[in-house]
Structure 1
Amino acid sequence: MDKLILIDGNSIIYRAFFAMPPLTNSAGQHTNAVYGFTNMLLRLIQEQKPSHILVAFDAGKQTFRHEGFKDYKGGREKTPPELSEQFPVLKELLDSFGIARYESEGFEADDIIGAVSKRADEEGRQVLVVTGDKDMLQLVSERVQVALTRKGVTEVEPYGYAEIEARYGLKPEQITDLKGLMGDTSDNIPGVPGIGEKTALKLLHQFGSVEEVLARTDELKGKMKENLINHAEDARMSKQLATIHREMPVDRNWEDMAFAGLNEETAAPMLRKLEFKSLLERLSFSAEGGPASSAENGEAEAEQLDVVICTEENLPELEQVLDSVQLIHIETNGDNPHQAEVVGIAFLAQDKYYIVSYELLKQEKAEKAAAWLADEDIPKNGYDLHRADLALHWHGIAFAGAAFDVSIAAYLLDPTGGDQSISALADKYGLPPVPSDESVFGKGAKYKVPEAETLARHLAQKASALWKLMPLQKSDLENNGMSSLFYELEMPVSRILADMEKQGIAVNRGDLQELGVEFQSQIDKLMARIYEIAGTEFNLNSPKQLGEILFDKLQLPVIKKTKTGYSTDADVLEKLAPYHDIVKYILDYRQLAKLQSTYVEGLLKEIRPETGKVHTYYRQTITATGRLSSQYPNLQNIPIRLEEGRKIRKVFVPSEPEWHILAADYSQIELRVLAHISGDERLKEAFLHEMDIHTKTASDVFGVPQEQVDSNMRRSAKAVNFGIVYGISDYGLSQNLNITRKEAGQFIEQYFSVFQGVRAYMDSIVKEAKRDGYVTTLLERRRYLPEINASNFNLRSFAERTAMNTPIQGTAADIIKLAMVRMAETLSERKLKSRMLLQVHDELVFEVPGEEMELMTTLVPEVMEKALELSVPLKAEVSSGNNWYEAK
């Protein structure tokens, strides 16, 4: 038998939004309401097996009801933008599911459902209305059931005659009388003052209708009688407002609402775009790009692409369309872009994909294509153009003009999104599948460039996907308020980083080798002393042998055990240090051994013979906070707390004679950002009056004058100051200060009682995160926090700490990037020879000719301090010398 399901689209999506925790896909799209709706829809389809489905939506704010009562629904809060943006997504999903939807100007979804259900009822068809609105109960008949959502939208409760009678003691047609008397605050329907559901039901059980109640008020007494007489018109109007208009014309016939089941070819890509992996699994759809049919579709699309493999003979064809190139894809291999091979380049122009090999590009006949790549006035769109720039550079091919980088856009839209490869992004956005690079090239030692035709097709498919991704990402960036962050910060930074990396920083190989000899001598002495104390030689790098010496032979207290025996990690050794001298020697040995292997031997391997420099690679799309990450080699993690670690910096020198190294470091940038964001007056006072922030904090927290703050007080205050920035717990602070957890908790409480603006900020940012599902920096960089409403305490607590510290750390990261952009512009505008070489967290490192030293010493901090205007001053401290060590 035919069965029609009518769904109140507005009601269900609203309830889903407020019932579901915040959820976004990697494109930054809010999806929690759509997910909840889809989950309920699939359950209905499975349980009810409908032959027809229609989802009705309100068409706009104004309906015919507003003509009679202008304040109808006037009390409702504005729809959250995070929900508003999901309506078009839901409609797109319904279309992909093959489910009919309808809306009509001037009417509500209730009226559409009322009219369609009446018509279906008269034709003898079974109808199930699904809604969260009890007004719909008036539609119940022998063939029409109404299912009301409960527990959010995960379950529905069906109502027929019997259920309405059991719940209210009324008939369906009396539901409008009920609303006439009691009103409805959600729709701003007034009803009669003082009459709630209980009283309204009592009146209707006695009199039957609003009209009868008003006609027989003489049988009533007291305030209720008075209110009914004074608000008789409100009661009549309220009943009218609650009455569903079932006579409206609906431009949908029975066939239009037919549902033949989900079409996997259209439904699966949409579910993948929204990243509803659990629903894909539930429907037995593939989460990795669809079933065989989808893969076949991808292959079919690849076959349809117009691919031209360029040779010396047909190169002129590419040259003729260079002015209309829409996008390029530069394929490279290897992890380190400074050593990568250029596998091939795809140029997309006028719906054709021109594939150029590296060998051809290097030939003189390809000089026009090479010149096009090098022209900074020609905007280039592509994927990971930063990496491509480096790979091309080391092969003698210049690249400039990066305009839109899909990989950077993907990172901004979801900084913790995991796989951001082209094939993964195509899946996320529901585009035709793109084969993974592993399936085409192999992995690791099995990597092999395929024959020309296969390679060309693969590069064309990637270029095609990138061209389709760009408008989707542009829209998402705009919707998320991140267009400025992308175009004015991240894209310029990408170019600046490539310039810095190609420039590199000079290393004095002889000094580095001498340092290695010095470190080895110290290591040998430490090993001899450790063996002497232990009374035997053993493998110092073996946790098992070291554990036996410390805990079995020397009988030191066991701090922690692992599955394989005693733990000898750094935390354990730090706690054991007071018990025995051998522990301090072991800690010193470990630090020196790491410096020797990682920084002496490691740096010697990284010096490029033809330049005498190391060329680090800055990863721009790795950290969730926006910080840069350095690799090949990592120059951000040189341990400078130890004097031996600081000595490593001596080997970094200017690349030109009579030049100097200049370093500029932001002072306490994160605490300054905290002062600005929180607006805490005490914090701001410290920075506005250039006080020592840690002494000021200690003075305020301990309640003593600043001159009475001792070194321990200041150390504790410093630990709390920086701990607050990183969302420290009482446990973390107790470990840092070697005090009890209770003492640490009291210290944090005292801090918050003094710095109340900071506490208010922490509380408010967590509330915002719970509401929005993300937090932002001052420049609108987002960090999504899917666990912020988790039931698991540990997950939720971590997300709350992340919510507190990300806006601070992320804004600090944005500021140093802004400083880099402004500094690059300034060096260019003033035609200075000085070069920006490194960014190390809050520090910028330059090499400067002698004649520019005086100017740069003033100019660099001036530019850095004006990077972003805060309510407290930014401060940059500058130093210089003959090497990086002297500059600090």
Structure 2
Amino acid sequence: MTKKKIVLLDGNSLAYRAFFALPLLTNDTGIHTNAVYGFTMMLQNILADEKPTHMLVAWDAGKTTFRHSTFSEYKGGRQKTPPELSEQFPYLRKLLDAYQITQYELDQYEADDIIGTLSKSGDEEGVEVVIISGDKDLTQLASDHTTVCITRKGITDLEKYTPEHVMEKYGITPPQIIDMKGLMGDASDNIPGVPGVGEKTALKLLKEYGTVEKVYESLDSVSGKKLKENLTENEELAYLSKKLATIEVDAPITISIDDLAYPGPDEENVKTIYEELKFKSLLDKMESPTENGPIAEIDVQIVANPEAIDLADEMAIHVEMMDENYLSTEVTGVSMTDDEQTVFIPIGVLQQSDRLKEWFSDEAKKKYATDSKAAYASLLRYGVEVNGFEFDLLLATYIANPSSSYTDVASVAKEFNYSDVQPDEAVYGKGAKKALPEEKVLADHAGRKAQAVWKLRPVLEEKLRENDQFELYHELEMPLANILGKMESTGVKTDLGILQQIGLQLSTRLTELESIIYEMAGQPFNINSPKQLGEILFEKIGLTPIKKTKTGYSTAADVLEKLESEHEIISFILTYRQLGKLNSTYIEGLSKEIHEDGKIHTRFQQALTQTGRLSSINPNLQNIPIRLEEGRKIRAAFVPSEPGWLMFAADYSQIELRVLAHMSQDEKMISAFREGEDIHTKTAMDVFGVDKDGVSSDMRRTAKAVNFGIVYGISDYGLSQSLNITRKEAGKFIDTYLKTFPGVKQYMEDIVSEAKMKGYVVTMMNRRRYLPDITSSNFNLRSFAERTAMNTPIQGTAADIIKKAMIDMDARLKDENMQTRMLLQVHDELIFEAPEEEIEKLKKIVPEVMESALSLDVPLKAEWAYGHSWYETK
């Protein structure tokens, strides 16, 4: 019989630890995920290390506990939970349900009391108990059978408190931890303690007298006049504090240890949660799907003689590849199907057949594809041009439900209860075992995908028509896919020599910064070593530490930014770090991405974000940092691919705020844009109540942060982080802003009401985003959905506008018979390369096209520039 081992987790404490240990991140669907991701990593480590037979996560039930009846200020002064964390608690609970871990909370009691009561039961049964928390109060529960693990650094470093470790560290027993808190108090819980008594004094008293009670029984013998006075005058506080610090071990819980049996995770449910939260790395670690083939048999003909194929006027096609990067991976073949036949054409056969090439290039022959952009770009590398795409399975699925973000046919098929196609991993294997199967298996797999496209097309097109989204799909996304495929295939010329030259300049600058930092520090040291840097800053220079870690002082970026005004060395260190990252991530990283043709071919992800924005990968050219001049200079390596040509760039000015003005119909905002005023200066004037000359740079910066914060659904916590102010100040700014722009406030209220009625919000071009949690009884889920309802129509409409501009621009270049090529889309910016003689025409037609992409009640404005490199266009 397996020996019992009980693991008890302090849910709230570990969630907070995970949230603050990791950067504030959102996934591609807009959900904040850092706390859930960090918690998951902790959970996986705990399960691997402890191998529990019984397990529980205890949660705090609410803000009020039985302790508040004793002391109303208990835990007073604690900051409100950031909404970015609050919205993650429902996902944490879903995660734990998927892992089949018991969860429990008890009204009027804290998680500590639940843990204390169960650990006592474990002690009485003589079974091993492990408690995991970030709260050292729980160390009072350490015993011969109970170990208390306290998180120290990040999310994986735990300090184990046994009675021996407590004695070694403090010189007292675990129960005396309560007495220590009684004497010294605990600022984090607002437990007062005795004024003037800190940890050192409290431990000295306890080593001599043992308990709070014994201290007061022996008050006459306590040395130190001031200490004796403080103890005498605050006797009630000492006893109150001890009572508040005592964890209840006899709470009226309704579960027992036997109820905590841990059966292990439900793999399918865990996978579903990972997919919902877009935890790709965790999904990749899960076992490969089973290789049980679909039930239905299909007949796929492997084509050796292209003349034997009956090429119809409309067919579903699928381009089969082992890997997802269709710009570089080898194509194995193309499957085609209609109602009469399913065939698989090896790529070599296709390349040699003029008949097949002619069919693929014929605009009149309708092609229904799994992924039209991937099909176009991949086959173009083999000399096969594909025209006439009429359906795209992945795009249609994405438009119908943008939260799906599927990248493979099997996932889409499963969504629509179509079971006759397998995931790629079932055919190719995974990791080191990944390999091409025999041709017959490959043909069968590819044929099934083509058949899925053929059979699912009517279903999806009908759904899009029902939702009034067919026009968005057919007139915007489908033509855009073709344009993006051409842009990806064209690529952007990248001068390796310039990249290397910038790398040398960065290295020189880093050396200069090193010398300056060493001089200010008074000695050389390893700037990249947090330990050495901490010693220099906080011991030698004497700056005030903000955070401490296991190895010393925290020198994280957020800590250093708060210290920047205290000493000039900080700004040099921050710059040194930024330049070091530029060198390693971008100079070295981009150099490796240059193809044999001297170009970088990024891939645009069109069916990913819920707002409709494009993203860029392999490499991400939308993410080159441009705040530092050294970062902007990286763009100098992107140059025209033809002699005598120039780079031309145009970007929308404040497009999202213009969309907000139109949607909210706020009179002040509309007036500002119509009159050509600087919207951030105007906002600062209205919010701070000053005239134009009275707007300082800090006022404008605050106004800009609030303006864009409104667009992106920022909270008082998010704004306080970006402006380095208190949450109270941030909240006041947001309130003042909404009073100043009543139309914006009304828009927010109206759009939330509409979302609650319909269950979704739409952009001006009818892109939907479904919000299933908008009417949730759970406050955190509902609040996140409400913020999403406010900002999605704005961001989504802005994304639709630039997509429409790209389609119109492509058509205009053809109409004008111009050689100019569109190369990149970076957020609100389009980048072209063009012969010098076409620049004058571009100056006219690019802003003309961009500014007329969609009619708003305020003017759209596009600004352009040109030069010999992308850098020179700014």
C-alpha contact (below 8 Å) 1:332/1:391 kept by paired residues: no
Structure 1 partner of 2:188: none
State the distance in 2 between where 1:495 and 1:564 align: 54
The 5-angstrom pairing of residues 247-646 of structure 1 reads 299-301=294-296, 303=297, 305-311=298-304, 314-318=305-309, 321-363=310-352, 366-531=353-518, 533=520, 540-543=527-530, 546-547=533-534, 550-551=537-538, 556-560=543-547, 567-609=554-596, 611-646=597-632
- How far residue 324 of structure 1 moved from its aligned partner, in angstroms, is 4.0
With over 3 angstroms needed to count, the CA separation of the structure-2 counterparts of 1:546 and 1:860, relative to structure 1, is same
Aligned letter for 2:563? Answer: L
Structure 2 partner of 1:281: none
Structure 1 partner of 2:18: none
Give a deviation string over 1:225-273, Cα, whole Å, max 9, x none. Answer: xxxxxxxxxxxxxxxxxxxxxxxxxxxxxxxxxxxxxxxxxxxxxxx9x
Aligned letter for 2:839? Answer: M
State the distance in 1 between where 2:819 and 2:759 align: 46
State the distance in 1 between where 2:800 and 2:684 align: 29
C-alpha contact (below 8 Å) 1:663/1:880 kept by paired residues: yes
Give a deviation string over 1:793-851, Cα, whole Å, max 9, x none. Answer: 33332222221111111100000000000000100111111111111110111112122
State the distance in 2 between where 1:442 and 1:540 align: 44
- How far residue 744 of structure 1 moved from its aligned partner, in angstroms, is 2.2
With over 3 angstroms needed to count, the CA separation of the structure-2 counterparts of 1:778 and 1:442, relative to structure 1, is same
- How far residue 468 of structure 1 moved from its aligned partner, in angstroms, is 1.7
- How far residue 787 of structure 1 moved from its aligned partner, in angstroms, is 2.9
With over 3 angstroms needed to count, the CA separation of the structure-2 counterparts of 1:562 and 1:475, relative to structure 1, is farther
Q: State which drifts further: 572-581 or 626-635.
A: 572-581
C-alpha contact (below 8 Å) 1:324/1:350 kept by paired residues: no
| Count of matched residue pairs | 591
Structure 1 partner of 2:807: 821
3-state SS in 2 of match to 1:822: helix
TM-score (norm 1): 0.63
C-alpha contact (below 8 Å) 2:338/2:454 kept by paired residues: no
C-alpha contact (below 8 Å) 2:369/2:375 kept by paired residues: no
The answer to whether the aligner puts 1:656 opposite 2:647 as a matched pair is no
Give a deviation string over 1:70-94, Cα, whole Å, max 9, x none. Answer: xxxxxxxxxxxxxxxxxxxxxxxxx
Aligned letter for 1:485? Answer: L
Query: Highest Rg: 1 or 2?
Result: 1
- How far residue 485 of structure 1 moved from its aligned partner, in angstroms, is 0.6
Structure 2 partner of 1:760: 746
Extract unaligned runs of 5+ from structure 1.
1-25, 27-271, 278-293
3-state SS in 1 of match to 2:761: strand
C-alpha contact (below 8 Å) 2:398/2:406 kept by paired residues: no
Give a deviation string over 1:572-592, Cα, whole Å, max 9, x none. Answer: 221122233333222112211
3-state SS in 1 of match to 2:410: helix
Give a deviation string over 1:307-347, Cα, whole Å, max 9, x none. Answer: 11111xx43221xx113442011111324222111022111
State the distance in 2 between where 1:824 and 1:676 align: 27
Aligned letter for 1:348? Answer: T
- How far residue 666 of structure 1 moved from its aligned partner, in angstroms, is 0.5
Structure 1 partner of 2:654: 668
Structure 2 partner of 1:786: 772
Structure 1 partner of 2:214: none
3-state SS in 1 of match to 2:441: helix
3-state SS in 1 of match to 2:676: coil
State the distance in 2 between where 1:395 and 1:559 align: 59
- Percent sequence identity is 54
* CA RMSD in angstroms, aligned pairs only: 2.6
- How far residue 380 of structure 1 moved from its aligned partner, in angstroms, is 1.2
- How far residue 567 of structure 1 moved from its aligned partner, in angstroms, is 4.4
State the distance in 2 between where 1:512 and 1:295 align: 46
- How far residue 712 of structure 1 moved from its aligned partner, in angstroms, is 2.7
State the distance in 2 between where 1:656 and 1:812 align: 32
Give a deviation string over 1:429-450, Cα, whole Å, max 9, x none. Answer: 1112422110100123322110
TM-score (norm 2): 0.64
Give a deviation string over 1:400-452, Cα, whole Å, max 9, x none. Answer: 22221101111112222254521122221111242211010012332211001
Q: State which drifts further: 545-554 or 567-576.
A: 545-554
State the distance in 2 between where 1:489 and 1:733 align: 35
Aligned letter for 1:388? Answer: A
Q: State which drifts further: 787-796 or 637-646.
A: 787-796
3-state SS in 1 of match to 2:871: coil
3-state SS in 1 of match to 2:312: helix
Give a deviation string over 1:350-398, Cα, whole Å, max 9, x none. Answer: 43111111122223xx221122222333221111121122222223332
With over 3 angstroms needed to count, the CA separation of the structure-2 counterparts of 1:726 and 1:506, relative to structure 1, is same
Aligned letter for 1:724? Answer: I
Aligned letter for 1:870? Answer: L
State the distance in 2 between where 1:457 and 1:542 align: 55
Structure 2 partner of 1:832: 818
Aligned letter for 1:310? Answer: V
With over 3 angstroms needed to count, the CA separation of the structure-2 counterparts of 1:769 and 1:317, relative to structure 1, is same
Give a deviation string over 1:144-199, Cα, whole Å, max 9, x none. Answer: xxxxxxxxxxxxxxxxxxxxxxxxxxxxxxxxxxxxxxxxxxxxxxxxxxxxxxxx
The 5-angstrom pairing of residues 42-57 of structure 1 reads none
C-alpha contact (below 8 Å) 2:315/2:366 kept by paired residues: no
3-state SS in 1 of match to 2:453: helix
State the distance in 2 between where 1:361 and 1:749 align: 64
C-alpha contact (below 8 Å) 1:343/1:357 kept by paired residues: yes
3-state SS in 2 of match to 1:653: coil
With over 3 angstroms needed to count, the CA separation of the structure-2 counterparts of 1:548 and 1:386, relative to structure 1, is farther
3-state SS in 1 of match to 2:795: helix
State the distance in 2 between where 1:393 and 1:710 align: 54
C-alpha contact (below 8 Å) 2:652/2:829 kept by paired residues: yes
State the distance in 2 between where 1:371 and 1:520 align: 53
State the distance in 2 between where 1:546 and 1:479 align: 61
State the distance in 2 between where 1:490 and 1:603 align: 29
- How far residue 752 of structure 1 moved from its aligned partner, in angstroms, is 1.1
The answer to whether the aligner puts 1:858 opposite 2:847 as a matched pair is no
Aligned letter for 1:473? Answer: L
State the distance in 2 between where 1:711 and 1:531 align: 32
State the distance in 1 between where 2:809 and 2:858 align: 21
- How far residue 696 of structure 1 moved from its aligned partner, in angstroms, is 1.6
State the distance in 2 between where 1:568 and 1:773 align: 45
State the distance in 2 between where 1:537 and 1:783 align: 55
State the distance in 1 between where 2:622 and 2:317 align: 32
Aligned letter for 1:599? Answer: Y
3-state SS in 2 of match to 1:323: coil
C-alpha contact (below 8 Å) 2:322/2:428 kept by paired residues: no
State the distance in 1 between where 2:480 and 2:547 align: 45
Extract unaligned runs of 5+ from structure 2.
1-28, 30-267, 274-289
- How far residue 570 of structure 1 moved from its aligned partner, in angstroms, is 2.5
- How far residue 501 of structure 1 moved from its aligned partner, in angstroms, is 1.4
Q: State which drifts further: 415-424 or 587-596.
A: 415-424
C-alpha contact (below 8 Å) 1:306/1:351 kept by paired residues: no
State the distance in 2 between where 1:796 and 1:538 align: 50
C-alpha contact (below 8 Å) 1:785/1:799 kept by paired residues: yes
Structure 2 partner of 1:64: none
C-alpha contact (below 8 Å) 2:370/2:393 kept by paired residues: yes
